[in-house]
Amino acid sequence: MLLQIASSVESLPAPPDRSTWGIVRGILVLLLFLAIAAWIGFSLLKRSEDPARLLFKWIITLPVLGVLVFVVAPLVAKGGYGGAFVGVPLAAVCGLGLAILWRDNLSSAIANIFGNLYDGGNTPPELRPVYSPALAKRKRGQYIEAIADIRRQLETFPNDFEGQFLIAEILAENLNDLAGADLAIQRIYHQKTHAPGSIAMALNALADWQMKLGQDRYAAQQALEKIMELLPDSEFSAMAAQRIAHLADAQHMLSSHDRRPIVVKAGVQDMGLLSADQHIQAPEEDPARQVADCVAHLEKHPLDTDAREKLAVLYAKHYGRLELAVDQLEQLIAHPNQPVTRVVHWLNLLTDLQIEHGASYETVHATLQRIVERFPQAAATEMARNRLALLKLEFRKRETSQTVKLGTYEQDIGLKKRDP
């Protein structure tokens, strides 16, 4: 048994020479060091403003580093008088030479640590299309050349909204090509990269061009309806519905081309000498006619908030029907996708009408409280809180002041003599 163990021990390979492993390790360390140095040098060379000068510095630095690693380091590690009186001074001389050689780069690297906090450092700027040459050509009347320049930019940035909209604007306003402008706007809203606000702006501009340049109410309405189709349940769709309700009809657009002269009647003589009851006043419109017009308009355009608000005011002020006014305003307040400022305006208007027409303090307080509860982060909430704090003062304004009846006192009491 012992003989078998001894024979197996004798058959094991001899351990490698320590000097061989030291050489291999040194080579690996050198290769790793060279790889890191090459990577750092390439990145610095790529960002350098003077690559030739930087390359010259690296050519000088590499031999110095070789001396430090393979000559000075072993000499210092060995110790003795050679390490103390030769290795250390030689290391100082090499370090001083490297410091002189790289002083500019070292100082700029340290300064960039703090400068990058303000100027962004060496991060390259974001590439963006440049339309200034096209805009200059457009101002000179070179519209086709301007469009060509924009399209060259769009070859690099195919989904850029500014360039595509600028083409549509030139086609519509400068070349009177509404069909081409319509096609350019279609390309915009078929791309999925644009923000909803950009799409709404482009289609609103198309509606403006159709009305102003083409006198085509139907085409303008189609552009606005496209907003409601692409952006449902949004503020943009609500604004588009509002614009549709106020689009000019064909008769109004024709009247701008066929203007009739306005006959101005002779004014009143000596206007400044008229008494207060004789002052000239504008004729008041018939409230019943206004209500009928609003109702007829709302039957065609139920989303017209301006007409509904006007109808609510007429119900309250001319007919004294606060309940009808409240119904109209509640419809506006409950309408979805309305801007916060509009909803706050309607709640404040409802508050004014309630105070004016004798609603109770609790009812008015609840109306103002709705602003605070519904929009706690809005700027108008603080105004609502202030109004709630002063609400009782508003109610006092409508109360009749109490008249104090004075008694009958003896006259000329100060002129009478006292009895002795």
pLDDT at residue 276, as a whole number: 63
Q: What is the C-alpha separation between 239 and 204, in angstroms, rounded?
A: 10
Helix ranges restricted to H, 277-408 = 287-300, 305-317, 322-334, 340-356, 361-374, 380-389, 391-398
Q: What is the pLDDT of residue 120?
A: 65
Distances (CA, A) of 398 to 346, 354, 357: 22, 12, 10
Alpha carbon 277 to chain centroid, angstroms? 54
Residue spans per domain, the chain: 23-111, 132-249, 287-397
Domain 132-249 belongs in CATH node 1.25.40.10 = yes
Report how far apart, in Å, the C-alpha atoms of 103 and of each of 95, 98, 106, 361 are: 12, 8, 5, 80
Q: What is the pLDDT of residue 258?
A: 59
Distance, in Å, from the CA atom of 140 to the CA atom of 226, rounded to the nearest integer, reads: 34
Please report, for residues 124, 163, 231, 294, the alpha-carbon distance to residue 156 in angstroms, rounded to integers and kept in the order given.
18, 11, 29, 52
Return the residue matching tokens 């339309």.
Answer: 131
Q: Contact, 233 vs 196, CB < 8 A?
A: no
At 61, list the tokens: 């630095």
Four-way CATH pick for 287-397: 3.20.20.80, 1.25.40.10, 1.10.287.890, 1.10.3720.10: 1.25.40.10
- What lies within 8 Å, CB to CB, of 283 at 6+ separation is none
Q: What is the pLDDT of residue 5?
A: 40
CA distances from 196 to 2, 75, 188, 219, 232 (A): 89, 72, 11, 21, 11
pLDDT digits (tens, 9 = 90+) for 239-288: 999 898 888 765 555 555 556 677 777 666 666 666 666 566 666 777 88
Q: Which runs of consecutive H residues, i.e. helices, occur in 140-195?
A: 143-156, 161-169, 178-190
Q: Would you say the pTM of this structure is higher than 0.95?
A: no
CA distances from 389 to 339, 370, 394, 395 (A): 26, 15, 10, 12
Residue 167's Cβ-count burial label (10 Å; 0-12, 13-18, 19+) is buried
Q: Residue 82: what residue type?
A: G
Q: If DSSP codes are grouped into helix, strand and coil, which group holds residue 259?
A: coil
- Is the Cβ–Cβ distance between 392 and 361 less than 8 Å? yes
Task: Let me know if the fold of 132-249 is the same as that of 287-397.
Answer: yes
Burial label, 59 (beta-carbon count in 10 A; 0-12, 13-18, 19+): exposed
CB burial of residue 383 (10 Å; 0-12, 13-18, 19+): middle
Closest CA to 328 of 342, 343, 338, 313: 313
DSSP one-letter code for 414: G
Q: How many CB atoms lie within 10 A of CB 334?
A: 9
pLDDT beneath 50, residues of the chain: 1-6, 8-10, 12-17, 401-404, 409, 411-420
What pLDDT is recorded for position 168?
Answer: 96
pLDDT of residue 404: 47
Q: Give the tokens for residue 358.
A: 């004798």
pLDDT for position 268: 66
- Cβ atoms of 297 and 329 within 8 Å: the answer is no
Residue length of the chain = 420
The span from the CA of 411 to the CA of 208, in Å, is 80
Determine whether 371 is exposed, middle or buried from the number of CB atoms within 10 Å of its CB (0-12, 13-18, 19+).
buried
Name the residue among 344, 316, 314, 320 with its Cα closest to residue 332.
344
pLDDT of residue 179: 93
